[in-house]
Amino acid sequence: MATDFKSIPIIDVAPLLAKCDDPKMVQDPGVREVVKQLDQACREAGFFYAKGHGIPETMVKEVRNITHKFFDLPYEEKLKIKMTPAAGYRGYQRIGENITKGVPDMHEAIDCYKELKQGMYGALGKPMEGCNQWPHYPPNFKELMEEYISLCTEVSRKIMRGIALALGGSPDEFEGERGGDAFWVMRLIGYPGASTANGKCTSENDIGCGAHTDYGLLTLVNQDENITALQVRNQAGEWISAPPIPGMFVCNIGDMLKPNYDAAVEPLEVCVRKSGGTRKFEKAVYGEHLVSKVQTNFVT
Provide long-range contacts, Cβ within 8 A and 24+ apart, for 66-70.
66/138, 66/140, 66/141, 66/144, 67/110, 67/188, 67/190, 68/190, 69/137, 69/138, 70/110, 70/135, 70/137, 70/138, 70/141, 70/188
Helices 57-71 and 141-166 sit at what angle, rounded to 10 degrees?
130
CB 75 within 8 A of CB 81: no
Q: How many residues does the chain have?
A: 300
Q: Residue 199 — very low, low, confident or very high, per pLDDT cuts 50/70/90?
A: very low
Give start and end residues of each alpha helix (H) in 27-109: 29-44, 57-71, 75-78
**Confidence (pLDDT) at 2:** 64
Give start and end residues of each alpha helix (H) in 85-175: 122-125, 141-166
- Could you tell me if residue 247 is left (phi over 0), alpha (psi between -120 and 50 degrees) or otherwise beta? left
CA distance 11 to 38: 7
- Write down all domains in the chain, each with its CATH number in brackets: 10-261 (2.60.120.330), 262-299 (no CATH)
**Confidence (pLDDT) at 200:** 47
CA distance 140 to 21: 32
Calculate the average pLDDT of the chain.
83
Using one digit for the tens of pLDDT, what is the confidence trace for 211-248?
556 666 789 999 999 888 888 888 888 888 899 999 99
| Res 210 pLDDT > 60 | no
CA distance 58 to 61: 5
CB 11 within 8 A of CB 34: yes
Q: How open is the CA angle 68-73-76, to the nearest 5 degrees?
A: 140
Of residues 89 and 103, the one with the higher pLDDT is 89
CA distance 121 to 244: 38
| Res 184 pLDDT > 70 | yes
Q: In percent, how much of the chain has pLDDT > 70? A: 76
**Confidence (pLDDT) at 81:** 97
**Confidence (pLDDT) at 203:** 46
Of residues 129 and 17, the one with the higher pLDDT is 17
- Kindly state the average pLDDT of the residues 160-180: 85
Least confident residue range of 17-21, 140-144, 204-208: 204-208
**Confidence (pLDDT) at 194:** 45
